[in-house]
C-alpha cells in the first residue's frame, strides 16, 4: 500500500491530470446529473489533494517528482496548481445548487465541462514545452467558453462567441509566437529560454510577446478584455463566472511561469517592457471601468483586470521578490474574486441594486462580499493587503517607485467600488431587484465562507504562505533547486 502511495506521489502531476480527465469522462458518461456532480466532486477533491501534496513537497524540499517527457513542474506551478484545484473544487461544490436549472440531459455535460476546464488549466501549468501550453490553454479556454454558453440568457452566447473568436485568434498568435521562440532559442521547452544562447533576440522577444498577448486576453487584462463584459454580465450564475475567474488566474499563472524563463540577456528587457505596458494599461482601464460599472458581475470582471495589471507589473520585475509578490497577488485575486462572485450568486439579478439589503437577508453572502471587496481594496489583515505590500516592497527594492502608483490606483478605485458594494449590502433597503436566490445559495454557503476565511486567515498569519511564495519564485527563476 505504502509502495503504491509512494509511486502515485512520485508521479503526482500525471495522477492529478488523470484524476481530472478521468473524472470528466466519468461525469460525462453518468446519465444522472446529481450522481455526475458527486463523482466530479470526488475527482476534484482527489486532484486537489494530490496537487496540494505535490506543491507542499516541492516547495519545502520534501521529495523528487518523475514528470516524464511531457510535463515539468516549476515553482510557479507548484504554488498555483493546488490553489487552482482547490478553488475549482469549491466552484464545482457551489455550482451543484444551480445544476437543477439546466435541462436534465445537459447536467452531466455541464459537470464534465467544469472538470475539462480544470484539466486544461492544470495541464497548461504542468506542460513542459510551448506547444503543450498552447494546446492545454486552448482546450481549457474552449471549455470555459462552452460553460458560459450554456447560460440561460442569450446575451451570454454573445460573450461565449467573443471568447471563442478571440481564443481562435489567440491560438494563431500563440502558435506563431511559439514557432518564433523555438526558432530563436533552439528549444521548445519553456525553461529553455532561461539559459539559451539566443541567436535572434528581437525575434525571441516578439515570439514571447505573441505568446503572452493571448494569455493577457484570456486573463481579462484591459484593454484586451472585450469578451469579459458580456460573458460576466450575462451568464446566469455567478458560480460559472467563478470558474471563468479561476481560469483567468490560471492564465496569469502560466504567464508568470513563462515570463520567469525570459531572463536571458537580450530578452528580459523587451518582455519586461511589454508586461509593464500591459500591466499599467490594465490597472488604469480596469479601475476606471470598475468604478463606472452598474452590473455587479461586470464590476468584478473589470476589478479583476485591475488586479491582473498589478500582477503583471510584479511579474515584469523579473526578480524573486517581484515573482513572489505576483504569486501572493494571484492568490489574493483568486480568493477575493471567488468570494465576491459566489457571494453575489445569492441574488438572481446582476444589477448593483440587487445587492440592496442583501447583508440582512443573506448575512453570510454579505460577509463574503464584504471580505472580497476589502481584499480588493487592499485593506490590512486581508490577502489583498499582503499582495499590495509585497508589490510595493519589490518595486521600491528595484527602484520602480512608480509601481507604488499602480498599486495605489488599484486600491483607490477599489475603495470606490468596494465601498459602494458594502453600502448597498448594509445601508439600503431591499428592492424588487434584490431577489434572494435560496436555491443558488444553498450549496454555495460553505465554499464562499471557505474563500472568505482564507482571505482573512492568510492575511492575519501569512508567514507560511509568504515563505512558500518566496521559495516558489526562487525555484521558478532557477535560483535554488
Partner 1 sequence: MSPELALAALLGAPLLQALLVLALSRPPGLRDLVHVMGSGAVAALAGYLVHAVSQGASPRIVLANPLPNVELAFSAEPLGTLAAAVVGGLGFLHAIHTSGMVRAIDQKAPARLMAFSALTTAAAMAVMFSANLFSFFVAYQALALAAFPLVAHVGDDEARTSARLFLAMLLGASIALLLPAMIWTYTLSGTLEFQVGGVLAGRIDLLSANALLVLFVLGIAAAAAPPMHRWLTMSFTAPYPALVKVQALAVLPAGGVGLLKVFAYVFGPALIAEETGRQILAAQILLGLCGVIMCAAAVIALSKTDIRERLAYSLWAQALAAIIGGLLAAPAGLFAAALQIVATSCAATTLLMAVGTTAAVTGRNNVADYPGLGRVMPWTFAGFAIACASIIGMPPFSGAWSKLWLITASASTGVIWAAGLVGVAAVLTFAHLGPLAANAFAGRAPTDAFKRPDGASILLVAPVILGAAATLGLLVLADPLASFLSPVWTPR
Please calculate the CA angle 50-55-59 and round it to the nearest 5 degrees: 155
Q: Give yes or no for residue 283 binding partner 1 (CB under 8 A).
A: no
Q: Give yes or no for residue 464 binding partner 1 (CB under 8 A).
A: no
- Which residue among 101, 426, 474, 478 contacts partner 1 (CB under 8 A)? 426
Q: Please give the C-alpha separations between residue 466 and each of 59, 76, 328, 395, in angstroms, as whole numbers.
A: 12, 13, 7, 17
Distance separating alpha carbons of residues 78 and 182, to the nearest angstrom: 25
Q: Give yes or no for residue 392 binding partner 1 (CB under 8 A).
A: yes
Q: Give yes or no for residue 378 binding partner 1 (CB under 8 A).
A: yes
Residue 283's nearest CA partner among 411, 415, 417 is 411
- Which residue among 187, 200, 393, 431 contacts partner 1 (CB under 8 A)? 393
Identify which of residues 68 and 380 has a Cβ nearer to partner 1 in the complex. Answer: 380
Residue 388's nearest CA partner among 410, 414, 418 is 410
Site for partner 1 in 42-81 (CB under 8 A): none
Q: Give yes or no for residue 461 binding partner 1 (CB under 8 A).
A: yes
Residue 208's nearest CA partner among 168, 123, 268, 120 is 268
The answer to whether 147 and 234 have CB atoms below 8 angstroms apart is no
Q: Give yes or no for residue 386 binding partner 1 (CB under 8 A).
A: yes
Q: Give yes or no for residue 268 binding partner 1 (CB under 8 A).
A: no
232 grid coordinates? 460576466
Cβ at position 354, least distance to partner 1 in Å: 18
Cell 490577502 maps to which residue? Answer: 383
Cβ at position 38, least distance to partner 1 in Å: 39
Identify which of residues 190 and 355 has a Cβ nearer to partner 1 in the complex. Answer: 355
User: Which of these ranges, 276-284, 309-317, 407-415, 435-443, lies near partner 1 under the rule CB under 8 A?
Assistant: 407-415
Helix (H) or strand (E) holding 456: helix 445-460
Identify which of residues 183 and 401 has a Cβ nearer to partner 1 in the complex. Answer: 401
- What angle in degrees, to the nearest 10, is found between the helix axes of 107-126 and 12-29? 160
Strand partners, 351: 295
Q: What is the chain's length?
A: 481
Q: Give yes or no for residue 377 binding partner 1 (CB under 8 A).
A: yes
- Which residue among 67, 188, 404, 435 contacts partner 1 (CB under 8 A)? 404
Q: Give yes or no for residue 139 binding partner 1 (CB under 8 A).
A: no
Which residues of the shown chain bind partner 1 in the complex (CB under 8 A)?
377-381, 385-386, 388-389, 392-393, 396, 404, 408, 411-412, 415-416, 419-420, 423, 426-427, 459-463, 466
Amino acid at each position: 500500500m505504502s509502495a503504491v502511495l509512494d509511486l502515485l506521489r512520485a508521479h503526482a502531476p500525471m495522477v492529478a491530470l488523470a484524476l481530472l480527465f478521468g473524472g470528466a469522462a466519468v461525469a460525462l458518461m453518468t446519465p444522472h446529473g446529481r450522481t455526475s456532480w458527486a463523482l466530479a466532486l470526488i475527482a476534484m477533491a482527489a486532484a486537489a489533494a494530490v496537487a496540494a501534496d505535490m506543491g507542499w513537497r516541492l516547495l519545502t524540499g520534501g521529495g523528487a517528482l518523475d514528470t516524464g517527457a511531457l510535463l515539468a513542474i516549476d515553482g510557479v506551478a507548484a504554488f498555483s496548481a493546488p490553489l487552482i484545484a482547490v478553488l475549482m473544487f469549491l466552484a464545482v461544490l457551489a455550482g451543484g445548487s444551480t445544476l437543477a436549472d439546466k435541462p436534465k440531459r445537459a447536467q452531466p455535460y455541464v459537470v464534465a465541462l467544469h472538470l475539462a476546464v480544470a484539466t486544461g488549466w492544470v495541464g497548461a501549468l504542468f506542460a513542459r514545452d510551448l506547444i503543450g501550453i498552447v494546446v492545454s490553454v486552448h482546450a481549457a479556454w474552449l471549455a470555459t467558453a462552452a460553460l458560459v454558453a450554456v447560460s440561460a440568457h442569450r446575451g451570454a452566447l454573445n460573450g461565449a462567441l467573443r471568447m471563442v473568436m478571440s481564443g481562435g485568434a489567440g491560438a494563431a498568435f500563440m502558435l506563431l509566437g511559439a514557432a518564433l521562440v523555438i526558432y530563436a532559442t533552439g528549444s521548445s521547452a519553456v525553461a529553455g529560454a532561461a539559459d539559451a544562447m539566443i541567436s535572434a533576440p528581437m525575434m525571441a522577444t516578439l515570439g514571447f510577446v505573441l505568446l503572452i498577448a493571448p494569455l493577457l486576453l484570456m486573463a481579462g487584462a484591459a484593454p484586451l478584455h472585450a469578451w469579459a463584459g458580456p460573458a460576466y454580465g450575462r451568464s446566469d450564475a455567478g458560480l460559472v463566472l467563478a470558474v471563468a475567474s479561476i481560469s483567468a488566474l490560471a492564465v496569469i499563472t502560466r504567464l508568470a511561469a513563462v515570463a520567469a524563463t525570459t531572463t536571458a540577456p537580450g530578452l528580459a528587457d523587451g518582455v519586461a517592457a511589454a508586461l509593464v505596458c500591459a500591466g499599467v494599461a490594465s490597472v488604469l482601464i480596469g479601475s476606471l471601468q470598475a468604478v463606472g460599472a452598474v452590473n455587479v458581475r461586470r464590476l468584478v470582471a473589470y476589478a479583476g483586470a485591475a488586479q491582473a495589471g498589478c500582477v503583471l507589473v510584479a511579474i515584469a520585475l523579473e526578480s524573486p521578490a517581484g515573482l513572489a509578490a505576483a504569486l501572493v497577488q494571484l492568490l489574493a485575486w483568486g480568493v477575493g474574486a471567488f468570494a465576491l462572485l459566489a457571494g453575489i450568486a445569492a441574488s438572481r439579478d446582476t444589477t448593483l441594486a440587487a445587492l440592496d439589503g442583501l447583508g440582512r437577508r443573506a448575512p453570510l453572502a454579505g460577509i463574503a462580499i464584504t471580505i472580497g471587496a476589502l481584499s480588493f481594496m487592499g485593506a490590512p489583515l486581508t490577502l489583498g493587503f499582503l499582495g499590495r505590500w509585497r508589490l510595493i516592497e519589490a518595486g521600491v527594492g528595484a527602484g520602480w517607485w512608480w509601481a507604488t502608483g499602480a498599486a495605489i490606483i488599484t486600491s483607490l478605485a477599489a475603495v470606490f467600488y468596494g465601498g459602494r458594494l458594502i453600502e448597498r449590502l448594509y445601508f439600503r433597503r431591499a428592492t424588487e431587484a434584490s431577489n434572494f436566490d435560496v436555491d443558488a445559495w444553498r450549496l454555495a454557503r460553505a465554499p464562499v465562507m471557505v474563500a472568505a476565511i482564507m482571505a482573512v486567515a492568510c492575511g492575519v498569519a501569512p508567514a507560511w504562505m509568504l515563505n512558500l511564495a518566496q521559495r516558489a519564485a526562487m525555484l521558478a527563476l532557477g535560483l535554488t533547486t
